[in-house]
Structure 1
Amino acid sequence: MAGALPGQWDVSIEHYPDGTIPAQLLDWVWEAAPVLSTLTKYRLPGAAILRDGGGTELLLAERPWDGRYLIGTLLPSPDHLNVTGAGPRTVVATTAREAAVDVRSLLLPSFEQLVHLARIREVQEDLDWVHGAEPGTVDAVELEAALDRFLTHAPYLLAATRRADAKSLAASETAVLVRFGILLARAPAGAGAQAVPAPAGTDDALSLWLEAGEDLLDAVRAAAVGPAGEPARPAVIAAIPPKPPAAVSAARTR
């Protein structure tokens, strides 16, 4: 299936000799409704984790009672982004080909959109915090951390405005993007505030962020394409699972 997805994916096969998927792995599953998370009730010999090298990780497993493929996303690393709320809908498919189609057309776009919104929310929260604080009360370490988060998210926000399906922007909005583009050209994505070299030093980055950060978010929101319509076939197919085996049920009650 990985070969049918966009980009290059590394596949790691997980084996569970005791037939139980680790709870700590399921804690990282990010899905709209409990589909993969219910697998703790059933024997499962293994699963696979797919990684694209850019922060997207998928969990692939076979549903024990009907052999359908379940593919869901894992939470982004909290070191990179803090997400809240429900995740994308887990894909349920009867064949690997069908699974790849649904992951490519439904799961990945939904994941990317939710991550995009989480980036906007995190930058907005930091700006609200700084602008709402009393003069002289902002902790320097926390301010540096907020700027670092912004410099991590900003390249992705700018990239979203350059998508082929992005909406056209007004000249003033484009000018804001150009200003931040010049700044970020000197600060690699994820490098953080400490890596911004002269002449675009930390003070310049901080000044531009505080001065025009709201304008940047407005431009990013204006360029965003609305959510696509509901697919003809939902990604999650309703199914009534059988009662878990007695041995598994007993183990869960101890």
Structure 2
Amino acid sequence: MTSSAAITLHLAAGNTIVALPSGERHRWATTALELAGFTRHQGEAHRLPLGDHVHARATLTHLHETARDCQAKVITSERPYLGDIAVVVAEALPGSWEVEVEHYPDGSIPAHLLEWVWEATPALSALSKSRIPCAAILRDGDGTELLLTERPWNDTYLVGALLPSPDHVEVVGTGAPRTVVATTAHRAAADVRSRLLPEFEQLVLLARLREVQQDLRWVRNAEAGSVDTVDLDAALERFLIHAPYLIEAARRHDGKPLAGPEDAALVRFEILFARFQADAGGQNGGEPDGIDEATALWVESAEDLVDAVRSAILGPAGKPSHSAIATATPPKPPAAVTAPGRTL
């Protein structure tokens, strides 16, 4: 009779063995591990340190006994532990990344996580019916999140992007980055650096640009005095959030000089944002100084900023230019701005 509980052992970093319980009766596999002496910190996998060879050998022998009693099968895997792969990838990426490993004893990536996968072709999302024991989420702390897992049938690693929070930007309709497929952690990291992150950054910038253009068109086409204050505040706040990222992209314009009006607009916005940051740091709530100036500058000069960014991130034929998008962290956007009582 085939066991419906299994324990897969991986040799892991730090001179340890990582044990992953799985199967319909995975709780019995977990019981076998705990009875054998494997330790587990909250949210982490069961581990066995190998520093004390005598203790480790005795624990493994005991595991086979407890697994037999719990009707769980013990499997020794030749594959590295996915958590270690995630750390290798994260350490090779620009900036500082955090790694969170999720374990799925029932063998399925949660549907709610797959719904956040953002990819051009179904690679990660195609794993919904495959047995996946674990996955890792990599976060850079600035809104970029990557999902890493392993295809069970050919031992390749998949690294894809997760949708940015809609609180940051709405990316629907801008396309999607291509998921990385690689046979090693180092190859995966190289492809994430050279392709996935630049595509992600570029598509997010295009989405920011689209929101700015839509809001600007709406404000300019509205009749004087007819714009609702709440809607106006929301549109201005979106612009003030997006603009630092757009300015950063325009400044990375392959060293080519910007047109006079475009460069002048960038300088004015940079001065304004610097003042906002200073005001936000010195006030106890309330409205930062210069909000009326920000509104006027937004309406009058945002189009020059849009033109500068479009020339930076789009090629001559209107196609994205990946080389124009770096993976450096852009400056922090200004503090959220709300100013009641403003109308156009």
Shorter-chain TM-score range: 0.7 to 0.9
Q: After alignment, is 155-164 or 216-225 more displaced?
A: 216-225
Identity among equivalent positions (%) equals: 65
> What is the deviation of 1:135?
2.5
1:197 equivalent in structure 2 = 288
**Aligned residue among 293, 307, 329 for 1:218:** 307
Change (3 A) 1:144 1:166: farther
After superposition, the CA RMSD in angstroms is 2.0
Q: Which runs of 5+ in 1 are unaligned?
A: 230-254
**Is 2:167 the counterpart of 1:79?**
yes
- For 1:57 and 1:196, the matched residues in 2 are separated by 32
**Aligned residue among 56, 63, 66 for 2:151:** 63
1:40 equivalent in structure 2 = 128
Mapping of residues 54-133 of structure 1, within 5 Å: 54-85=142-173, 86-133=175-222
List 4+ stretches of structure 1 deviating above 6 A.
none
Greater RCO (CA < 8 Å, at least 6 residues apart): 1
**1:197 corresponds to which letter in structure 2?**
P
1:4 equivalent in structure 2 = 92
> What is the deviation of 1:165?
2.1
- For 1:182 and 1:41, the matched residues in 2 are separated by 53
**Aligned residue among 222, 227, 238 for 1:138:** 227
> What is the deviation of 1:166?
4.9
**2:266 corresponds to which letter in structure 1?**
L
1:239 equivalent in structure 2 = none
Q: Which runs of 5+ in 2 are unaligned?
A: 1-88, 323-344
**Aligned residue among 272, 286, 290 for 1:183:** 272
| Secondary structure of residue in 2 paired with 1:66 | coil
1:22 equivalent in structure 2 = 110
> What is the deviation of 1:136?
2.4
> What is the deviation of 1:224?
3.2
| Equivalent pair of 2:313/2:321 in contact (CA under 8 Å) | no
- For 1:228 and 1:101, the matched residues in 2 are separated by 19
Change (3 A) 1:68 1:215: same
| Equivalent pair of 1:49/1:59 in contact (CA under 8 Å) | yes
1:149 equivalent in structure 2 = 238
> How many aligned residue pairs are there?
225
| Secondary structure of residue in 2 paired with 1:116 | helix
Change (3 A) 1:219 1:7: same
**1:165 corresponds to which letter in structure 2?**
D
| Equivalent pair of 1:187/1:196 in contact (CA under 8 Å) | no
| Equivalent pair of 1:187/1:195 in contact (CA under 8 Å) | no
Q: After alignment, is 170-179 or 44-53 more displaced?
A: 170-179
Change (3 A) 1:33 1:53: same
> What is the deviation of 1:139?
1.0
| Secondary structure of residue in 2 paired with 1:215 | helix
Q: After alignment, is 215-224 or 142-151 more displaced?
A: 215-224
